[in-house]
Amino acid sequence: MNPANLFKHDTDTTNLAQGEVLFTQGEPGDCMYVLLEGSADIIVNQEVVERSTSGSLLGEMALIDNSPRAATVIAAEPCRLAKVDERRFNFIIQNNPFFAKHVMTVLVNRVRQMSQLRGTPTESLPNLMP
């Protein structure tokens, strides 16, 4: 699934020039973004951990748990993004369960990626299931 397809007709998009910051690690977050065009770097503790391209989700963790931003996102080239606030997010996942599964897959992949960067095997992470 490429989430960019769900939002390709959005006219009220966020546009960034190369080098412009979308959001900064530690700041409050109440929305996520879907990268429609361009590419952006995800930076954690001043280290680039991912280069996002069309269809990437950005800021989804803050939307789900209202936590501060876990990363900084900077446009690596000009970008066009669709903004998804909590109301829109809930509407989409109610009407498209595949989108909800995609968000979960992105989250799992990011946890695994961060664990590998820190040298922590995912098998040693605490089991959060009851």
Q: Examine residue 129 and state whether it is found in any structural domain, yes or no.
A: no
pTM for the whole structure: 0.84
CATH number of the domain residue 31 falls in: 2.60.120.10
Average pLDDT, the chain: 88
What pLDDT is attached to residue 129?
Answer: 41
Give the number of domains in the chain: 1
Q: Is residue 14 part of a domain?
A: yes
How far apart CA 40 and CA 84 sit, in angstroms, is 17
Lowest mean pLDDT among 11-25, 73-87, 94-108: 94-108
CA atoms within 13 Å, Cβ hemisphere of 129: 0
Residue 83 has pLDDT above 70, yes or no: yes
Distance CA 67, CA 64 (A): 8
Query: Positive or negative, the Cα torsion across 2, 91, 86, 88?
Result: positive
**d(C-alpha 93, C-alpha 52), whole Å:** 22
Closest to 4 measured CA to CA, from 77, 54, 66: 54
Decide if 25 is inside a domain. yes
